[in-house]
Structure 1
Amino acid sequence: MDDPTQLLEAASDFANYPGLLSDDSARDFLNRFPLPLIINALQTQFDVPGLESTLVACLDRLFNTKFGASLIPQYMPFVQVGLQTDSQAVRSLACKTVTCLLENIDNDYKVAVRLIEDSNIYPLLLDCLINGNEQVAAVATDAIKMLAGFPEGMEIIFPSAKEGGTDLAIFASKCSSLGRVRVLALVVKLFSVSRSAASTIYRSNLLKLLEAEIRNADDTLVTLSVLELLYELAEIEHGTEFLSKTSILQLLSSIISNNSMESILRSRAMMIIGRLLSKDIIYSFTDEPCVIAVISSIDGRLQSLEPSDRDECETALESLGQMGSSVQGATLLLSGLLPAARHVIYAAFDRQGPQGHGKQLAALHALGNISGETRSESNIILNAEAEENLRRLIYETASRSSKLTPSGLFLSVLQQDSEIRLASYRTISGLVARPWCLMEICSKQEIIDKVTNPSTETTKIGMEARYNCCKAIQRSLTLSSRVSADPAFAGIAAKLQEAIGMGPYLVKKRVEVQPIVETADRF
């Protein structure tokens, strides 16, 4: 094309067309400018300002139409060349084109996968993952993840006979630190595709790559990146099962116990452990002594922290709270002569002024989880030892304070700012399932007045937390034969019922329309 101006203008209009493009629009555009002409211009017209970026954006939108995607199989050589070019924009387009091919092949994915295999596309995607810029690496990962969604695609990524060129473990060993992190990020993405893919990754020992990077903690940034990937991995539904079969928990525990480690690494390790141990299923795959050792590492860290280590302290409390959301986790946190949950309970009612606000807030939310606010009704109460330690620690905390009783502690936190009140509602909602706590709540009229007052909270989340707290107290009252039979508590039950009947949000009493009578104006 001697004069690309017309193509440039048309491609710009097509790329910037507002809304979705129809197949008819794509067909009309290609009738004017056939695909070979566009590709040729992209490959030869390097000196035309703005042409490359415009054509890349145009082709991106074109291939995202069903008609445009149907043309991709005819232009696989273009995809091959695009994946190997020096232009990052064209590389990105080529990676996206592979994804479009897999998404829009009229449900015949086997044809698409065969085209990718025959054109040797997968090794080129890996090269883009390692050597491309951040955007290219991201879209290359998306394309490989899409490929892994098909059984034939998994065979390309994980061939039965290991091939050095594409074997991810060997591939990672030859990369720079950035390249290794990108390979590990790909492994995590593939892990999330399905349980079958996760099983393949586990059998391929690819999770050991993560373990190796954690052990080699010379580069803080790399270690932090790997911990972020582990945090993502721990959230995947089937991740817990496979991670529990590795030494990840022990490695994370060693990071927490290592005083020479950066504080941010210890904090991330604690958050990962909290996320993992918040799921009851992990206790089916992990030995209890291992979990106890992990909890002990956080307990030991909390004991060694200075008052200035506020951020790490808050993270440790949050991680204990996450563990406590599961029945097994809460039980272990409240077991033994010195239960780890003591740190949470002490901090929850320790008002240290503005400097300790975050610590108290984290502790109250953690106590809400441990006491069962997030668990189903049938799973709130724990075993006898855990329940006795919970009761003892709260009464012990009260006796050491100026409030003297648990009811005094509860009222004191309800009288603080909105964030603390929100966490307090959650804590009371969980604890009030215990008869001793119900008696403490009902023994102080100010607590009932506070939680039933619809104008106390002004935010949606605060209103809902207060309302749920009312429902939890009312439910416990109803179930308690001792309290419900006492006429002295009838007024409390009625007040709670009235508050619940009003709903969670501020309800103004109905105001009747009043007629206004005015004297007529006279001359």
Structure 2
Amino acid sequence: MEVDLPADLAPLLHAASEFASYPGLQNDASVKEFLDRFPLHVLLSVLQRNADVNGVEDTLVSCLDKIFRTSYGASLLPDYSQFIQAGLQANSQFIRCLSCKAVSYLLENSSNVVSSLQVIIEYNIYPLLLTCLVHGDEKTSAASLGAIQSIAKFPEGISIIFPTDGEEYSLIKNIAAQSSSVARTRILALLAKLFSLSSTVASAIYSSNLLNLFEIEINNGNDMLATLSALEILNELVESPHSSMFLLRTTLFQLLTNMISNSSVDSILRSRAALISGRILSSSEAYAAVNISSVTALLEAIDRRLKVLGSQNTDESESALEALGMTGATNQGANLLLASSSSVAAHVVESAFDRHSRGKQLAGLHALATICGADRSENSRVLDDKAEENLRRLIYTAAANTPKLKPSGLFLSALKQEPEIRLAGYRLVSALVARRWSLTEVCSEPEIIDIVTDAKIETAKNGMDARYECCASISKALLSSNLLHDAAFADIAGKLQGAVRRGPYLTKERQEAQPLVMTAERF
């Protein structure tokens, strides 16, 4: 439709600039009032015909963005679907970015989602969004990603992106095969964002074999940066709660294990592969899908790397220890790790009490705490008999090989170091006291009790919380044990209970009122 434009654009542009510069969001009433003065079709026509005029594009794009953000503005978009379609193909990145956002606004404010999605189908919006994703500038690509996410939030939208005939996800594969490394990275980022939306979308991605794009990129030995980007995005994808059930059905886990074992692979890539593998195995659901031999192969690969690294305090050794901690986060993983024929558990214990390598000690303490159940419920901390016996043996052996001689000396040593190490020590002791032998060791060392009951020893909130949690864990374990028959332990229990009652933070001692004595005034 031909639109007569005002001869003088100055009043329109001035009003649009003021509208766009209004701080915060506009409301429906202000949008209606503005559009009564300057109808939407006029604004769009001015933008289309005068985009090359200095100041027009910036002003009108900002103004239209404010309009479409409102419920009223978004409700007008179905009548201007051709503008969205044309805008997604415009040469201007500003207009393309606005059009991508318009798709999101349309769906987020729609009172009839099915009708809005029909508009997206009718005007072939989704393929255009994919083009903006891979070829747009940073802002346009981000806006396109957000728009595609908005489509995928609805069941009817999922069928647009993943139709039963497979045409659309074949389009994704074709684009990836013909694109630059930057574009391929954007596609992987899109898959990761979609994967996290729901298990339904994740299942569609898995069924369409799009996870294979991660395998292809990770296997690309010609571009280390592209491989690292793919690993970083995979790490993001693994954070989804339903990731394990799908990833463990692919060859990705085996691929990560192979990377860890391959000495020719850069250490940064090996580190990321270890962390991702550990994160995959950090949930109980993983063990319903994983082949135990695959976990064993991973542990052996990490064991070999730690042996090669030896006493070196490197990022790779710290990542390997962190990965072992995540692998042992569940009962299944901890039992398997402690029962492994490899020496991975020994690496964790030795690193946890190695004061010569601060980074490794910190990683080792946190890993050991996690394996011992710091992040599990109290009734799930103790493992099976074989795992528990190996844990006890490893800690007593580590103590015997140091001047401390006893585990209590190792625990105390960690608690007497700087705040970061001390916090990790609190986590470890909190988890270990679920075992009688460890509880006895802790309670037999007065300095440990003095530290965990001292509300003044920590100044940072996380340290205060960790100390208090440790104190409460020891107290609870002691009260439920039969050690209270010993008078010495009974006294310790009283001291711990008093500290628990005082709470985790600094408290002022109760002050008695003091009489105030003053000399008499004389005239």
- Give the TM-score range, shorter chain: over 0.9
Measured after TM superposition, the shift of residue 440 of structure 1 is 0.7
Residue of structure 2 aligned with 1:22, choices 4, 27, 33: 27
Q: Distance in 2 between matches of 1:383 and 1:16?
A: 65
Would the aligned equivalents of 1:148 and 1:157 in 2 still touch at CA under 8 Å?
yes
Matches within 5 A, 1:242-261: 242-261=246-265
Note the C-alpha offset of 1:337: 4.3
2:495 corresponds to 1:491: no
Greater mean deviation of Cα atoms: 328-337 or 276-285: 328-337
Deviation at 1:306, TM superposition (A): 5.2
How many residues get paired? Answer: 518
| Worse-matched range after superposition: 159-168 or 147-156 | 159-168
**Matches of 1:47 and 1:516 in 2, distance apart?**
82
1:508 and 2:517 are equivalent in the alignment = no
8 Å Cα contact 1:164/1:171 also seen in 2: no
Seen in structure 2, the aligned counterparts of structure 1 residues 522 and 430 have a Cα distance that, compared at 3 Å, is: same
Whichever residue aligns with residue 220 of structure 1, its letter is: M
- Separation (CA, whole Å) in 1 of partners of 2:74 and 2:311: 60
Match of 1:485, as an amino acid?
H
Superposed CA deviations along residues 416-446 of structure 1, whole A, max 9, x for unmatched, are 1111111101000111111111111111111
Deviation at 1:47, TM superposition (A): 4.5
Establish whether residue 286 from structure 1 lines up as the match of residue 290 from structure 2: yes
Counterpart pick for 2:236 among 223, 232, 241: 232
What does residue 146 of structure 2 align with? 142
* Alignment-derived partner of residue 397 in structure 1: 398
Q: Does 1:44 align with 2:49?
A: yes
1:84 aligns to 2:89 (yes or no): yes
Partner of 1:480: 481
Larger deviation, residues 307-316 vs 85-94: 307-316
Match of 1:280, SS? Answer: coil
Deviation sequence 1:25-74 (CA, Å, 0-9, x none)? 00011111111221122122235433212211111110011110111011
Q: TM-score, normalised by structure 1?
A: 0.96
Residue 198 (structure 2) aligned to one of 194, 200, 221: 194
- Aligned partner of 1:123 among 122, 127, 143: 127
After TM superposition, give the deviation of residue 338 of structure 1 in Å.
4.1
SS in 1 for 2:167: coil
The answer to whether the Cα contact below 8 Å between 1:398 and 1:409 also exists between their aligned partners in 2 is: yes
Q: Residue 296 of structure 2 contacts residue 340 of structure 2 at CA under 8 Å; is this kept in 1?
A: no
Q: Give me the whole-angstrom Cα distance separating, in 1, the residues matched to 2:116 and 2:240.
A: 28
- Structure 2 residue 15 is matched with structure 1 residue 10: yes
Once the two structures are TM-superposed, the CA of residue 171 in structure 1 deviates from its matched residue by 2.7
Superposition pairs for residues 346-425 of structure 1, below 5 Å?
Answer: 346-352=350-356, 356-425=357-426
Following the alignment from structure 1 to structure 2, what is the Cα–Cα distance between the partners of residues 154 and 42? 33
Equivalent residue in structure 1 for 2:316, among 281, 306, 312: 312
Give the superposition deviation at 1:413: 1.2
* 1:263 has 2:267 as partner: yes
1:141-171, Cα deviation, whole Å (9 max, x unpaired): 1111111122222222122223379632223
Give the AA of the match of 1:252.
L
Instruction: Report the Cα offset of residue 512 of structure 1.
Output: 3.0
Q: For residues 205-244 of structure 1, what are the structure 2 equivalents within 5 Å? A: 205-244=209-248
Structure 2 CA distance for partners of 1:77 and 1:61, relative to 1, 3 Å: same
**Whole-angstrom CA distance in 1 between matches of 2:329 and 2:270:** 21
CA root-mean-square deviation: 1.6
Distance 1:155 1:337, change over 3 A: closer
For 2:347, which of 337, 343, 347 is the aligned residue?
343
Distance 1:91 1:521, change over 3 A: farther
8 Å CA contact 1:333, 1:339 repeated in 2: no
1:458 and 2:462 aligned: no
CA distance in 2, matches of 1:238, 1:395: 38
CA distance in structure 1 between the aligned counterparts of 2:206 and 2:52, rounded to whole angstroms: 49
Q: Distance in 2 between matches of 1:471 and 1:339?
A: 33
What is the CA–CA distance in structure 2 between the aligned matches of 1:512 and 1:50, rounded to whole Å?
A: 72
CA apart distance, 1:518: 3.0
Distance in 1 (alpha carbons) for counterparts of 2:444 and 2:52: 83
Counterpart residue type for residue 71 of structure 1: L
1:326 is displaced (CA, Å) by 1.1
Structure 1 window deviating more from structure 2 (181-190 vs 97-106): it is 181-190
Whole-angstrom CA distance in 2 between matches of 1:262 and 1:11: 54
- CA separation in 2, counterparts of 1:340 and 1:8? 68
Q: Which residue of 1 aligns with 2:76?
A: 71
Matches for 1:420-435 after TM superposition, within 5 Å: 420-435=421-436
**Unmatched segments (≥5 aa) in structure 1:** none
User: In 1, distance between residues paired with 2:402 and 2:409?
Assistant: 9
> Aligned equivalents of 1:364 and 1:165: distance in 2?
45
Aligned AA for 1:76? S
Q: 1:54 & 1:521 partners in 2: Cα distance? A: 77
Task: Determine if contact 1:373/1:426 at 8 Å carries over to the other structure.
Answer: yes
The 8 Å contact of residues 364 and 427 in structure 1, kept in 2 or not, is answered as yes
Shift of residue 131, structure 1, vs aligned partner: 0.9
Indicate conservation of the 8 Å contact 2:325/2:367, yes or no. Answer: yes
Deviation at 1:476, TM superposition (A): 1.4
Contact 2:51 2:57 (8 Å CA) reproduced: yes
Question: Unaligned stretches of 5+ in structure 2?
Answer: 1-5
Structure-2 change in CA distance of 1:440 and 1:213 (3 Å)? same
Partner Cα separation in structure 1 for residue 477 and residue 265 of structure 2: 46
**Is the alpha carbon distance of 1:222 and 1:74 closer, same or farther for their aligned partners in structure 2, counting shifts above 3 Å?**
same
SS in 2 for 1:423: helix
Residue 502 of structure 1 deviates from its aligned partner by 0.3
Q: Which residue of 1 aligns with 2:3?
A: none
Q: 1:492 to 1:237 in 2, by over 3 A?
A: same
Distance 1:6 1:521, change over 3 A: farther
- Partner of 2:63 in structure 1? 58
Tell me the percent identity. Answer: 52
Q: Is 2:163 aligned against 1:162?
A: no
Residue 403 of structure 2 aligns to a residue whose secondary structure is coil
